[in-house]
């Protein structure tokens, strides 16, 4: 059986629900799920309850993570009209600034008309620290122009549509500093899968797009910097309710989906490692930890099952798919923290990757 030692993965877009949504996920359950997927570092999103928008709320997530995280992590600060004056001061405690320019789960949001807030944040946040935008459709153009005028780069989260990747490609070809990520759900699922998944279980932001959008993402892989999951855990009882929250869990299936695509000849293993290990570390300024790697059986066939997931969400939109390639073990800073489906890691082993915590 071909067992490869590979660099460990980093996922720049993960929702861990602490504080305020621990019944869906917490730093322990989410980081264990990440390890099982070969991810040794993740960047946690700020649309929690309360949202992470100031020092006190950021401290809630920092404390929870310090106690419970099993893999390394960074924490995003959320941008809003109220924190223009002090967001930059908090930058050293964060992995970057997240701007929500479209509606999604939670209340954290910059109003669609509030161009002033976007421009102020882009001017003030340190130029060498990432700004990540949830920007769909025309908001992609808005984010790219505001960043360009502020003489800084911007990272567009979860690009899902042909027109969006075409715009990002055009900007890149003109030398504009923009990077982007695409999620497995938009590479492997489309609106054609929605009836099979059902109403609540196909709800995700950005929405599943058309098969033509899906094909455009694959065709423009050269312009996609990162594959990130947007791991957005919600319980099945919530997904199957009358008001399903949007979001899919993803950290336990992302690498296997990409390895399956490698096996199918859609891209190379190097293409995948560039987008799941090297580029994200470089773009987010995160050092490669020493003595850290994963071992992968690239031939192993397995079927994701919600019941076997380590995420508290306990479901997957890829239920029963046959995937080729499985993470067999994960070694983080010299410790084999995951092997053969078992964890050998204490809650709190994970380290904060923010510059203020790096020595």
Residue ranges in contact with Zn ion by CB under 5 A = 230
Nearest residue (CB) to Zn ion, 213 versus 230:
230
**Minimum CB–partner distance for residue 5 and ligand NCD (Å):** 32
Nearest residue (CB) to Zn ion, 41 versus 294:
41
Contact 285, 128 (CB under 8 A): yes
Q: Which residue in the shown chain puts its C-beta closest to Zn ion? A: 230
Nearest residue (CB) to Zn ion, 25 versus 230:
230
Burial class, 314, CB count within 10 angstroms (exposed 0-12 / middle 13-18 / buried 19+): middle
3-state SS, residue 88: helix
Q: Are strands 293-302 and 226-227 parallel, antiparallel or unpaired?
A: unpaired
Burial class, 219, CB count within 10 angstroms (exposed 0-12 / middle 13-18 / buried 19+): exposed
**Minimum CB–partner distance for residue 55 and ligand NCD (Å):** 22
Nearest residue (CB) to Zn ion, 181 versus 230:
230
**Minimum CB–partner distance for residue 203 and ligand NCD (Å):** 7
The whole-angstrom separation of Cα 28 and Cα 42 is 12
**Minimum CB–partner distance for residue 247 and ligand NCD (Å):** 3
**Minimum CB–partner distance for residue 234 and ligand NCD (Å):** 6
Burial class, 91, CB count within 10 angstroms (exposed 0-12 / middle 13-18 / buried 19+): buried
**Minimum CB–partner distance for residue 250 and Zn ion (Å):** 10
User: In what side-by-side order are the strands of the sheet with 72-78?
Assistant: 9-14, 39-44, 72-78, 96-100, 131-134, 154-156, 178-182, 226-227
Site for ligand NCD in 140-159 (CB under 6 A): none
Q: From residue 158 to residue 197, what is the string marking binding to ligand NCD with x (rule CB under 6 A)?
A: ----------------------------------------
Residue count at the site for ligand NCD (CB under 6 A)?
13
116-128 as b/e, with b when 16 or more CB fall inside 10 Å? ebbbbbbebbbee
Contact 317, 189 (CB under 8 A): yes
The whole-angstrom separation of Cα 288 and Cα 282 is 9
Binding residue for ligand NCD, selected from 10, 15, 93, 276, defined by CB under 6 A: 15
Q: Which of 259, 248, 208 is nearest to 217 (CA)?
A: 208
Nearest residue (CB) to Zn ion, 64 versus 108:
108
Binding residue for ligand NCD, selected from 32, 155, 205, 312, defined by CB under 6 A: 205
Binding residue for ligand NCD, selected from 69, 204, 227, 353, defined by CB under 6 A: 204
Q: Is 137 in the site for ligand NCD (CB under 6 A)?
A: no
Binding residue for ligand NCD, selected from 134, 312, 324, 326, defined by CB under 6 A: 134
Q: Is 50 in the site for ligand NCD (CB under 6 A)?
A: no
Per partner kind, with CB cut-offs from 5 to 8 A, the member of ligand NCD, Zn ion, none near residue 47 is: ligand NCD
The whole-angstrom separation of Cα 356 and Cα 359 is 8
**Minimum CB–partner distance for residue 345 and ligand NCD (Å):** 25
**Minimum CB–partner distance for residue 168 and Zn ion (Å):** 18
Per partner kind, with CB cut-offs from 5 to 8 A, the member of Zn ion, ligand NCD, none near residue 188 is: none
Q: From residue 230 to residue 249, what is the string marking binding to ligand NCD with x (rule CB under 6 A)?
A: x-x------------xxx--
Tokens of 272: 């995948």
The whole-angstrom separation of Cα 44 and Cα 25 is 12
**Minimum CB–partner distance for residue 104 and ligand NCD (Å):** 3
278-312 as b/e, with b when 16 or more CB fall inside 10 Å? ebbbebbebeebeebbbbbbbebeeebebeebbbb
Q: Which spans of this chain sit near ligand NCD (rule: CB under 6 A)?
A: 15, 47, 104-106, 134, 204-205, 230, 232, 245-247
């Amino acid at each position: 059986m071909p067992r490869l030692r590979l660099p460990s993965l980093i996922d720049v877009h993960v929702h861990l629900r602490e504080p305020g949504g621990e019944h869906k996920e917490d730093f322990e359950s989410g980081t264990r799920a990440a390890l099982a997927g070969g991810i040794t570092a993740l960047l946690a999103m700020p649309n929690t309850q309360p949202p992470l928008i100031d020092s006190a709320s950021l401290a809630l997530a920092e404390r929870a993570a310090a106690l419970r995280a099993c893999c390394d992590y960074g924490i995003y600060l959320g941008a809003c009209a109220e924190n223009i004056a002090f967001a930059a001061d908090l930058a050293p405690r964060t992995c970057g600034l997240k701007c929500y320019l479209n509606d999604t789960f939670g209340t954290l949001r910059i109003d669609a008309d509030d161009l002033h807030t976007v421009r102020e944040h882009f001017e003030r946040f340190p130029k060498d620290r990432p700004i990540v935008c949830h920007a769909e459709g025309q908001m992609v153009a808005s984010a790219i122009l505001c960043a360009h005028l502020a003489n800084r780069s911007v990272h567009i989260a979860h690009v899902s549509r042909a027109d969006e990747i075409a715009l990002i490609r055009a900007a890149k070809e003109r030398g504009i500093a923009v990077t982007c990520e695409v999620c497995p759900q938009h590479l492997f699922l489309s609106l054609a899968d929605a009836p099979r998944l059902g109403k609540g279980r196909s709800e995700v932001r950005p929405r599943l797009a058309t098969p033509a959008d899906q094909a455009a993402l694959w065709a423009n892989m050269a312009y996609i910097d990162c594959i990130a999951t947007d791991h957005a855990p919600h319980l099945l009882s919530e997904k199957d309710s009358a008001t399903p929250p949007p979001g899919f869990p993803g950290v336990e299936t992302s690498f296997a989906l990409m390895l399956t695509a490698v096996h199918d000849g859609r891209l190379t293993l190097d293409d995948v490692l560039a987008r799941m290990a090297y580029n994200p570390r470089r773009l987010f300024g995160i050092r490669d930890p020493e003595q850290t790697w994963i071992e992968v059986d690239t031939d192993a066939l397995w079927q994701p099952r919600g019941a076997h997931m380590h995420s508290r969400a306990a479901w997957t939109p890829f239920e029963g798919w046959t995937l080729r390639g499985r993470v067999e073990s994960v070694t983080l800073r010299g410790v084999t923290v995951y092997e053969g489906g078992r964890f050998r890691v204490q809650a709190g082993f994970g380290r904060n990757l923010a510059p203020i915590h790096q020595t």
